[in-house]
Structure 1
Amino acid sequence: MSYAISDKRDNEFRIDHREGGYRVSLQGHWATSTLATPLRSWATFCFAYSLSTSDWAIYLDGRQRAKGSFSEFTEPLEPGGTFIIGQEQDSLGGLFQRDQSFSGEITDLNIWGSVLNQHTLAQVAPCGSGMVGSQLSWVASSWVLEGEAEWVSGSLHEICQPLTKAINIFPDRFSLSQAIDLCQVVGGTVLVPSSDQENSWLYEQTQNDSIKCSGGEGESYLWLGATDTIQEGQWTNIATGRPVSWLGPWRGDRPNGGTEENCLVMLTGQNSGRWSDIACLDSYSFCVSCQSSQPATIYLKGPAVCQYTPFDHKYLLGERRDGRPSLQGFFHSDIYWHSGTWRIQSLKVNASAWHRPVKEGLYPFGRHPWIIEGDLCGMTQGMVVNLTLSVCGQGQFTCADGKCVNLNQRCDLRIDCADQSDEVQCSLVDIPSGYSTVIPPPPTNTSSPLPIHFIISVIAFPTIATQYQTFTATLSLSLRWQDTRLNFLNLKDDRTLNLLSPDDVFNIWTPRVFFTNAEGNLFTNLKQGARVECVRGGPSIPGAPYLPEEVNVFPGNESSLEMSQLYSATYSCDFYLAMFPFDSQVCQLRFTLVSAAASYMVLVPEEAVYTGPTFLIEYQIGTIRMAVEEGNEFSTLEVYVKFSRRYTFYIVTLYIPTVLLILIAYATFFFNPDDFNSRVVVAVTSLLVLTSLLTQTSSSLPKTSYFKLIDVWLFVSIVVIFLVILLQTLVNFTVQSPSGSYLRHSWFTSLLEVNMALMVKSRVIIPVIYLIFNLIYWTVALR
């Protein structure tokens, strides 16, 4: 509604009933609210404004719902202008635009010259109060009709009675299961009249279709939504399971079909408007009427509902056109049956779309192909697109047949739609036009490179070959990043359900990492077994109506992508064996991000774990840690693994045997002094066995330029046994010499002197040598 006093002052006073809220403009100042104008029901709006204070208030049905004050004072409205209902004036009484027209019904419009007090407002608010305005009166004013506006007279009861039930009649034949599904699809249930008045009204509305609805095969023509299947004679609502509040009028005194006939129909002919029970067979088909507490909003979704589309997004079931219920858009388009097709027709421009059902009697609810006529939303004449018509609102998904399921059940690997459409086309990525898989994502922070979070889980070390200085690692590598160019669809809390399809993976950018010190030319890959998952971040936002299917959209700046794969790689490691077999080795796994230079993206160490057994055959696995290697052109990260050798085997198989061999060789000093051969054979045999151990051990270890601890041990052991053999030979030589006594005396004296010297200098001489000489001395002395 608008009031203009000249071509230049065409917006002196204006009232807008918009989808986003009720708004009033006074000389360029706006009073706004979020009050939505109710659909298919009456409401009383009041706007109060004080010229002296610039305060305003908005009332809905007598209750104050918004208030405020203009920042500047206004002037009184000048008389002599033009007041228009249903249009915004762009000049005095003219320059109307079709898309600015009001579609609806208005009554009892009054304007007072002063702000009404609370008591008067309470009297004005009720429907049909009869109070008239002092400045503009609905009753006394003279209105001129122009264009498509028309006067319609109605009773106060019709206008003021609040809507408690919406009834829609579908004059086509359906089986009972189809009738139940149809009513569910349009947001209602199969009607069961709740009073004699409603029953009579229903028959009056459907009697002209009774022959068509019965198929000419009997008196039954209209399904009613009640059954006594559970308990004979106890009729309950099919949808709710609650007892029917009103029963009758029956054909005869009561139902007469017994337990074989448990469904309910309305009759025509001699028993017009009466009820009868009937068998619940799908071979029967009749018309159906659906009821709901409020008119259900039916949403149109798909490529034809872009930002500037001439088609409405919301519709209500309305009057019949060409024999079937039509869908009336909220603003400027209708959907109706015409010449064998369902048509969407814009009332603003010459644009439409049509759909031909596969057989007679089917309605356009659900997802179907439509053919575009005219240029709209970037589509051309004759283009075929999928459009969806359903009552499914926010947080719901429309099955192909029009039924609604929870949107979280979409693509969850479980069938929830009867037609299985909830598990079809489960793409998780919305890739914008112009997206390039060659160009990496922009960084989330413009002042720093894009972080690629690095997660490694080492599963096993199948081989650790000391002699070759290599080891093989089985590891799971995960890379996580954000791509703000993408949006993700219908993500679940369970990230295993957010697996991208191979096609989606092929069409997005993924990082590439080189296994730097692994044998071969190994890079991260997307071969068999690879997974690319979406990791849900922040909350979702509803998908745009131009999408043919409902989706929850997760922005790419809040959610992440994670690529994971299992690898088996052989690495070289410089084993330092000086303390073998009591050594520990720290080896590294180096990874280099080669997708772009470090100034564009970097590897960020996130987590490194080892999930295999701690104790292997030869090694004990220690801690695993990560570190970033600085100063490289490409971001490089190192993973360090500690191997501690398990030395029990060497103690049992090497150290203890060598000690025993030394003792055996030393024990030859206690053999019979005259049995030189036995003493020498035992000592030499010990020396040969020890030499064999040395050879065997050396062959299993890498050749090093430095001595290993085990080499020193075996060498010293060989020297000790060699000295034993040498002493045995000297002793035997002394005994058999002609001047043996002298030699023996000289030998003992010399040996004693050496022993005393060693005792004096024992603090600076190797204790092992000192011990050996003492043992030799006392052995010879005793003998």
Structure 2
Amino acid sequence: MVKKGYGYNKLYWKSQEKITGGWLTHTVKQHKNITFYSKRLENVVGIRKKISLEVTGVKFQQEGVPRKDTLLRYLGDFPGVTAITICFRLNLRQYRDIDIVLSYAVPEEPNELVIAFAHDTQNILVQYCGSVGEALNFTVPLRQWVPVCVALDLEVRFVELLFENRVKRFGLQDSNNTCHGLRGGGNLVLGQDQDAYNGGYVQLQSLSGVLAEFRLYDHALSGEEMRTFSRCRSTLNTNSTPVISFSNVQRDFEAVNVQFEQFQEDYCLGEWNNILIFPEPRTFKEANRFCNVSGGAVKVPTSEEANLLIFNKTTRYAEACNIGYVDSFWLGVKGNVTSQTWTHYITGKILQYTNFLLENTSVKEPLTCVSFVGDKNAIANQHAGWSVTACSNLRCAICQQDKVFLLKARGLCKGSHFDRQYFLTHDKGWITFTGIYYSTITRYFPSQDGYADTRAYDFWQISRSDKPSVKATLQTDSPYDYPFGRHTWTVVNDVCGRTNVTILITSCKDGQFSCNDGSCIDIQHRCNLEIDCRDESDEMDCDFLTLDHSYNSDNPPPRTNALSPVSVKLNLDIYAIRSIDVGEFRFTCDVEVTTEWFDSRLQFRHLNNASTLNSLNGKQRQPWMPKLEFLGDGRTTSDVSARRGSLNVRRYSGPLEDNDEEAQESEVFLGSENSLLQVQKLTVATSCQFDLEKFPFDTQRCSMIIKLSDITKNYVRLTADADSVVFSGRRGMLQYKLVYEKIAEKDLGDYSMVEVQLYLENLSTFYITSTYVPTLIIVVIGYLVFFFPINNFNERIMVGLTGLLVEATFFSQVNSSIPNTSYMKLVDIWMVFCILILFQVVVSVVIIHYFCDMKTWPVRANLALVSSMKRTGEEQELRRKRTTSQQVNKMCQIITPVSIAVFLVVYIILATTTQN
């Protein structure tokens, strides 16, 4: 282990190469004078001292204790004026209820002129002639020098304000013009408010900070003259001199419990450059996290001056941070092995300034992080030097804050005595959490000398300087513990009445969630089923709804007024029609029923934009939900089987304003603006009154009624629009095809309901191919017997009778496959017609045969003999019968197809006519 001290030589460094793994492997640069660094630092730091003018600043309440006995009182005479300009530079240490800069009182009026700041309302207050005042909207930052000028002209009637190099003019609100000048001869006090002439001071209406370059003019300065003051000029560009100033403050003012300090003129630049040192060795990853949770970032020097000033800051913590190496601090520099460059660890930009102890330092794994020599006991030429080291090594964090970063303290009750905002300082040597008003969070060690050993630890305490009996204590488990994040504190004498209070100290901004360790994530990642906090706290306590004990789940949401019932919007998604049983007059379908409603009694938390993530399933207590009853045609009861269900919250609006009384950031949403969403997947078997008159060319209308039960329509009403029903399944089924569906609102007595109507069209192609075409072919075959020879009676009658029998068989089969009805169906009419046609064919064949009896007809071979016979009356009768039979046969050849054609036309018209 390398020891710190003096006189390290090259041989010793090399002998420790394997132990250190860091900058200790470097060859030490040789310098002739060991005091080289000290002189260089003095030169750099002393430059400003030589070129700057010193000004006197007055410190009020420097210890942070609000007091009414700390002030400056002007010893001279205050002139009576009609216009006045007051300029000063201010650095507030902490806010008070009202930060009083100037209070001028005359015996007749204690508030003749008051200039103050109110942080709560973020106003600069200018009060004159008693109750008349102007509230100008500006925010005064803490721990940062700001130039302020107030020019008040009671004749021209305006007030002009210079704040942070901006000048704004406002007209006076004294509409009655009762005040035309400030009376002279009164009492001018800085740092306290006079509620009575030369007295009546209140400690909460005072000033905690530093006041410098105070100047009072007996006329109104121009805007350009005031802007000159903001540019840090030693004198204002004006022909007059101030009547009151700090040019000799200790002579012209009575100082009561204040401190005087000399400042360089460049203090008025208003720059904030707060460097925080966490004197506990950590890995670079942990150091980076600590800087982040404190509102800063690991420091990256950009110039030699900045680098040396860091050294001046770290030397007091070198002993606490040294664990065997003099390069005891982390810098925010990372090495890129590929490009062999050193970059800013956040932006990735290549550094223009480096100060490595070894020239041409290469980047290689695992030496990709950079440490800083902050120990004045190291060799002088190594002071403020940079060294490469592994990121897993232990060093102390140097954190840079570019502005006053306010940490929030959440979990305190509304009237708590403790501050709700803090910023980090080194006011008491080590890291201190300073409240913006009156509180501080300080680390206490067991040792009596206070800060001798950082490894001796005890507890953190929140206290009020003006109320020492009010305190809160956090016992630590390690010297590395800080009160960042969520912890349980033991509270004494606070107004909240609780002893153990969970308090969250966080640097997270609005719209972020604080993990238990104090790190921040986007609040939209809260309770989204993905772990974003390393301690997984973002997925803990993810109850989207917590019901009060007074909430009654049996009662529906309250109506907005007596005439407007609560609306429950219904949407129906039909996944599939499982079956249509025409014989049982019943159909079965799978549906997803979605109901949506608002309940103004509820409040929800940390809702996601995706409603599926906002699940309320599995809770022991559920909010009120509508109960639905399914009915079929004729209001018959349906059989309903539940497959699955869910209850979620759908987000529509933004959250309410954050409530810091809760120890955890939680977006709260109103139930009146964000709805409950119930989704039920069901199998519903319900009745349908089929009308089969046009079967198999029928179109059926089946109704499914959804009724809201247990609550009348005066309180809750089902609503649906034209798009509230959709069919997402396959429309073509075995026998029917779903043509379209619609939904309508209806009432059933005192209850609200909606009716879903499904229009089904018979898929008649099957019957055409399996029934109509074969039966028609049989009819055609039967018709063809009229083209058989008339004398072939046996063949003709057999074909006709066979066709008739086959047709009757078809009729029987068709009737067995469809419901029996008391009325004729189209298919029945078709079958009867086919049978009648074939029956007509058989009858016609018999009639034709009757007229041409074959026994009286000579055979063809004897026709010559018959022709030679003597014509007798019998012969003439035979010829007449033959002619008649031929005519009847011919007539049947014509009438039969005509009858079939006429029937087909009429039948098609009936089949294609829309069914009611």
Q: TM-score range by the shorter chain?
A: 0.7 to 0.9
Q: What residue is the counterpart of 1:593 in the other structure?
A: 708
Q: What residue is the counterpart of 1:627 in the other structure?
A: 744
Q: What residue is the counterpart of 2:131 in the other structure?
A: 28
**Greater relative contact order, per chain length (Cα 8 Å cut-off, separation 6+):** 2
In structure 2, the CA distance between the partners of 1:590 and 1:257, relative to structure 1 (3 Å rule), is closer
Question: Any conservation in 2 of the 1:465–1:471 contact (CA below 8 Å)?
Answer: yes
Q: What residue is the counterpart of 1:613 in the other structure?
A: 730
Q: What secondary structure is seen at the aligned counterpart in 2 of 1:712?
A: helix
Q: What residue is the counterpart of 1:341 in the other structure?
A: 459
Q: What residue is the counterpart of 2:832 in the other structure?
A: 715
2:689 paired residue among 560, 568, 574: 574
For 2:828, the aligned partner's letter is D
1:275 aligns with 2:385: yes
Unaligned runs of 5+ in 1: 773-783
1:224 paired residue among 314, 317, 331: 331
| Inter-partner Cα distance in structure 1 for 2:312 and 2:674 | 58
Q: What secondary structure is seen at the aligned counterpart in 2 of 1:658?
A: helix
For 2:626, the aligned partner's letter is P
1:206 paired residue among 310, 314, 336: 314
**Distance apart, 1:696 and its partner CA:** 2.2
| Inter-partner Cα distance in structure 1 for 2:697 and 2:878 | 47
| Inter-partner Cα distance in structure 1 for 2:338 and 2:200 | 67
Deviation per CA, 1:708-744: give whole Å up to 9, x if none: 1111221222233333334444555666699998799
| Inter-partner Cα distance in structure 1 for 2:854 and 2:681 | 78
In structure 2, the CA distance between the partners of 1:523 and 1:574, relative to structure 1 (3 Å rule), is closer
| Inter-partner Cα distance in structure 2 for 1:42 and 1:658 | 106
1:364 paired residue among 472, 477, 483: 483
1:16 aligns with 2:117: yes
For 2:131, the aligned partner's letter is G
Q: What secondary structure is seen at the aligned counterpart in 2 of 1:104?
A: strand
| Inter-partner Cα distance in structure 1 for 2:309 and 2:512 | 34
For 1:288, the aligned partner's letter is A
Question: Any conservation in 1 of the 2:641–2:683 contact (CA below 8 Å)?
Answer: no
Question: Any conservation in 1 of the 2:367–2:391 contact (CA below 8 Å)?
Answer: no
Q: What residue is the counterpart of 2:423 in the other structure?
A: 316
Question: Any conservation in 2 of the 1:581–1:645 contact (CA below 8 Å)?
Answer: yes
1:464 paired residue among 560, 575, 580: 580
**Distance apart, 1:426 and its partner CA:** 3.7
Q: What is the correspondence of 1:616-695 to structure 2 with a 5 Å cutoff?
A: 616-630=733-747, 632-671=749-788, 678-695=795-812
Segment drifting more, 617-626 vs 100-109: 100-109
| Inter-partner Cα distance in structure 2 for 1:465 and 1:345 | 80
For 2:326, the aligned partner's letter is E
| Inter-partner Cα distance in structure 1 for 2:604 and 2:397 | 41
1:178 aligns with 2:295: no
Deviation per CA, 1:81-139: give whole Å up to 9, x if none: 65555555555566665555544333344444433333543444444756775378783
For 2:372, the aligned partner's letter is V
Question: Any conservation in 1 of the 2:443–2:461 contact (CA below 8 Å)?
Answer: yes
Q: What is the correspondence of 1:385-464 to structure 2 with a 5 Å cutoff?
A: 385=502, 387-429=503-545, 434-443=550-559, 448-464=564-580
Deviation per CA, 1:250-302: give whole Å up to 9, x if none: 3x8786998774432315334263435253152x323222113223222222x
Question: Any conservation in 2 of the 1:19–1:36 contact (CA below 8 Å)?
Answer: no
1:142 paired residue among 245, 249, 253: 253
- Size of the alignment, in residue pairs? 751
In structure 2, the CA distance between the partners of 1:107 and 1:600, relative to structure 1 (3 Å rule), is farther
1:476 aligns with 2:586: no
Identical aligned residues as a percent: 25
Q: What residue is the counterpart of 2:87 in the other structure?
A: none
**Distance apart, 1:41 and its partner CA:** 0.9
**Distance apart, 1:450 and its partner CA:** 2.5
| Inter-partner Cα distance in structure 2 for 1:745 and 1:632 | 80
Q: What secondary structure is seen at the aligned counterpart in 2 of 1:105?
A: strand
Question: Any conservation in 2 of the 1:249–1:274 contact (CA below 8 Å)?
Answer: no
Question: Any conservation in 1 of the 2:295–2:405 contact (CA below 8 Å)?
Answer: yes
Q: What residue is the counterpart of 2:899 in the other structure?
A: 768
Q: What secondary structure is seen at the aligned counterpart in 2 of 1:226?
A: strand
| Inter-partner Cα distance in structure 1 for 2:295 and 2:470 | 28
Q: What secondary structure is seen at the aligned counterpart in 1 of 2:137?
A: coil
| Inter-partner Cα distance in structure 2 for 1:523 and 1:101 | 75
**Distance apart, 1:600 and its partner CA:** 2.4
Q: What residue is the counterpart of 1:381 in the other structure?
A: 499
Segment drifting more, 21-30 vs 735-744: 735-744
**Distance apart, 1:680 and its partner CA:** 4.2
Q: What secondary structure is seen at the aligned counterpart in 1 of 2:754?
A: strand
Deviation per CA, 1:453-482: give whole Å up to 9, x if none: 222222211212222221122222222223
1:241 paired residue among 348, 353, 358: 348
Unaligned runs of 5+ in 2: 1-99, 446-457, 858-873, 904-916
In structure 2, the CA distance between the partners of 1:39 and 1:688, relative to structure 1 (3 Å rule), is same
Q: What secondary structure is seen at the aligned counterpart in 1 of 2:415?
A: coil
In structure 2, the CA distance between the partners of 1:471 and 1:334, relative to structure 1 (3 Å rule), is same
**Distance apart, 1:560 and its partner CA:** 3.2
Q: What secondary structure is seen at the aligned counterpart in 2 of 1:707?
A: coil
**Distance apart, 1:167 and its partner CA:** 0.4
Question: Any conservation in 1 of the 2:193–2:201 contact (CA below 8 Å)?
Answer: yes
| Inter-partner Cα distance in structure 1 for 2:566 and 2:183 | 63
In structure 2, the CA distance between the partners of 1:275 and 1:373, relative to structure 1 (3 Å rule), is same
Q: What secondary structure is seen at the aligned counterpart in 2 of 1:155?
A: strand
Q: What secondary structure is seen at the aligned counterpart in 1 of 2:733?
A: coil
TM-score (normalizing by structure 2) = 0.72
Deviation per CA, 1:525-556: give whole Å up to 9, x if none: 7x74525241x334455522233333445544
TM-score (normalizing by structure 1) = 0.84
In structure 2, the CA distance between the partners of 1:82 and 1:585, relative to structure 1 (3 Å rule), is farther
Question: Any conservation in 1 of the 2:529–2:539 contact (CA below 8 Å)?
Answer: yes
**Distance apart, 1:60 and its partner CA:** 0.7
1:287 aligns with 2:396: yes
| Inter-partner Cα distance in structure 1 for 2:641 and 2:157 | 69
Q: What residue is the counterpart of 1:512 in the other structure?
A: 627
Question: Any conservation in 2 of the 1:313–1:329 contact (CA below 8 Å)?
Answer: yes
Question: Any conservation in 2 of the 1:257–1:277 contact (CA below 8 Å)?
Answer: no
| Inter-partner Cα distance in structure 1 for 2:553 and 2:206 | 47
Segment drifting more, 2-11 vs 472-481: 2-11
Question: Any conservation in 1 of the 2:696–2:827 contact (CA below 8 Å)?
Answer: yes
Q: What residue is the counterpart of 1:777 in the other structure?
A: none
- Pairwise CA RMSD: 4.1
Q: What secondary structure is seen at the aligned counterpart in 1 of 2:259?
A: coil
| Inter-partner Cα distance in structure 1 for 2:726 and 2:198 | 78
For 2:344, the aligned partner's letter is N
1:499 aligns with 2:499: no
| Inter-partner Cα distance in structure 2 for 1:670 and 1:748 | 16
Question: Any conservation in 2 of the 1:473–1:569 contact (CA below 8 Å)?
Answer: yes
| Inter-partner Cα distance in structure 2 for 1:118 and 1:16 | 21
Question: Any conservation in 2 of the 1:7–1:90 contact (CA below 8 Å)?
Answer: no
Q: What is the correspondence of 1:256-267 to structure 2 with a 5 Å cutoff?
A: 261-262=367-368, 263-266=370-373
1:58 aligns with 2:167: no
Question: Any conservation in 2 of the 1:232–1:259 contact (CA below 8 Å)?
Answer: no
Q: What secondary structure is seen at the aligned counterpart in 2 of 1:500?
A: coil
| Inter-partner Cα distance in structure 2 for 1:744 and 1:347 | 145
| Inter-partner Cα distance in structure 2 for 1:750 and 1:232 | 114
| Inter-partner Cα distance in structure 2 for 1:278 and 1:677 | 119
Question: Any conservation in 2 of the 1:444–1:484 contact (CA below 8 Å)?
Answer: no
2:176 paired residue among 54, 72, 78: 72
Question: Any conservation in 2 of the 1:229–1:259 contact (CA below 8 Å)?
Answer: no
| Inter-partner Cα distance in structure 2 for 1:90 and 1:550 | 41
**Distance apart, 1:35 and its partner CA:** 1.0
In structure 2, the CA distance between the partners of 1:10 and 1:475, relative to structure 1 (3 Å rule), is farther
**Distance apart, 1:168 and its partner CA:** 0.5
Question: Any conservation in 2 of the 1:54–1:72 contact (CA below 8 Å)?
Answer: no
In structure 2, the CA distance between the partners of 1:388 and 1:446, relative to structure 1 (3 Å rule), is farther
